[in-house]
């Protein structure tokens, strides 16, 4: 069977690339080749885009610590790229740390945090000698020895985002309230083996308003002044908004840097305390735009276009109604349609009311942009479907970063 027979869309002229803020510099013909060669669904990740985003954050904040939030996308290749670009690393589990250890990521540049760290997570972190542990509960202090720590605080900031993505307001499972913060500081002060390096907060994800970060920064400096303990580091977390559709704005990183640094400097002067070293934790902002997911159309029942993937490789629409702007790798007069997945759930819908060619048919390839973050990480085996391959792209060359999961992989764990 020829390549043209495997991929009917190649016989049509490819449409011009749309909105560059959503798409990395990977040609449609290369995407079509990847779909024909590696099958679908397949994740594609552009290395240059990841590295460019790392450099963008480092150039914007040259004196800050930039820690890649690996929960967005954890694999050896990506962690190697961010290490080579000089970033630190934020991990949330022994598993994420194991990936970092496997490539020799410098332990002193790693932070471990999470709201419910298992003893195994803390043991792994201390065994490797991670630079800092972000403490999220008083109980964690009893499980740590000889460790530099940050205390995660709930700053009481209501971020303008989906409720499932808001983590900084009161009533959340994350962080310490003010009473627990004071007790934590006292306990650390009584422990010569623990060193309080700083305070940490994270107000949520997909935050677009710089003013929200400024409000959090001012509140955190006030807390530093209140606890009257020397603090060397202030970690403001991440959550920088990323556009998933053309009508969504990009995050104003320049405005963020200006307002945050001015606010911290002013508040520290007002409270007469030293300016702490700043840490931020971009994750989605590093890898989201670098990713494209490729699907093949399986069936068409207007207005529904069903593809060979769905909520097992992209859980975000089902979790919090995430929006996307997919397109076919060929042109033609369009009509609004709904892109649905293969899984046995009415909620397995990837995108609604999107323009697709009226003559869309089985075998066509659909490309979904901005899928580098929280797609590979959240992938599951629902309906015993194997997780897709992750294919790296750089300057026209391709490389398998994570191979596709097979039925043998699924059965290997089933020992019953």
Catalytic residues: 344
Q: What are phi and psi of 401, to 5 degrees?
A: -95, -45
Helix (H) or strand (E) holding 3: helix 3-6
**Could you identify the residue written with the tokens 């949330």?**
92
**Could you identify the residue written with the tokens 């790392």?**
54
> Counting beta carbons within 10 angstroms of the beta carbon of residue 30, is it exposed (0 to 12), middle (13 to 18) or buried (19 or more)?
middle
Q: For residue 268, how many other CB atoms are within 10 A of its CB?
A: 17
Give me the residues paired with residue 366 across strands: 295, 328
| Alpha helices, DSSP H, located in 135-245 | 138-142, 178-189, 210-227
Give me the residues paired with residue 204 across strands: 166
**Both tokens of residue 398?**
């391709």
What DSSP letter does each residue of 257-288 carry, written as one string?
HHHHHHHHHHHHHHHT-PPPEEEE--SHHHHT
Sign of the dihedral through C-alpha 367, 71, 170, 242: negative
């Amino acid at each position: 069977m020829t390549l043209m027979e495997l991929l009917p869309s190649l016989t049509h002229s490819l449409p011009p690339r749309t909105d560059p803020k959503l798409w990395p510099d990977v040609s449609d013909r290369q995407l079509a080749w990847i779909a024909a060669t590696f099958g679908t669904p397949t994740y594609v990740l552009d290395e240059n885009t990841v590295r460019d985003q790392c450099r963008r954050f480092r150039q914007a904040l040259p004196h800050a610590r930039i820690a890649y939030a690996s929960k967005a996308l954890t694999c050896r290749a990506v962690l190697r790229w961010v290490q080579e670009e000089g970033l630190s690393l934020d991990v949330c589990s022994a598993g994420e740390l194991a990936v970092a250890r496997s490539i020799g990521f410098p332990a002193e540049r790693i932070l471990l945090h999470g709201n419910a760290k298992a003893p195994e997570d803390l043991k792994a972190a201390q065994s490797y000698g991670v630079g800092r542990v972000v403490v999220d509960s008083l109980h964690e202090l009893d499980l740590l020895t000889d460790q530099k720590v940050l205390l995660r605080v709930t700053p009481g900031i209501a971020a303008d985002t989906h409720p499932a993505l808001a983590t900084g307001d009161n009533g959340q499972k994350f962080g310490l309230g003010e009473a627990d913060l004071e007790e934590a500081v006292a306990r650390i002060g009584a422990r010569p083996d623990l060193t309080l390096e700083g305070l940490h907060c994270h107000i949520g994800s997909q935050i677009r308003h710089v003013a929200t970060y400024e409000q959090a920064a001012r509140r955190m400096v006030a807390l530093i002044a209140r606890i009257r303990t020397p603090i060397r580091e202030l970690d403001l977390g991440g959550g920088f908004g990323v556009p998933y559709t053309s009508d969504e704005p990009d995050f104003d990183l320049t405005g963020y840097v200006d307002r945050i640094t001015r606010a911290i400097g002013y508040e520290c002067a007002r409270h007469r305390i030293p300016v702490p070293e700043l840490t931020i934790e971009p994750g989605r902002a590093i890898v989201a735009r670098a990713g494209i997911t490729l699907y093949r159309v399986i069936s068409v029942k207007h207005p529904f276009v069903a593809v060979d993937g769905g909520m097992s490789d992209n859980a975000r629409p089902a979790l919090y109604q995430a929006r996307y702007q997919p397109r076919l790798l060929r042109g033609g007069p369009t009509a609004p349609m709904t892109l649905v997945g293969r899984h046995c759930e009415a909620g397995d819908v990837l995108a609604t009311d999107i323009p697709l060619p009226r003559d869309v048919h089985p075998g066509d390839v659909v490309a979904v942009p901005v899928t580098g973050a929280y797609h590979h990480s959240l992938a599951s085996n629902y309906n015993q479907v194997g997780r897709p391959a992750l294919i790296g792209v750089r300057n026209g060359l391709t490389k398998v970063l994570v191979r596709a999961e097979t039925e043998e992989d699924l059965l290997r764990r089933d020992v019953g």
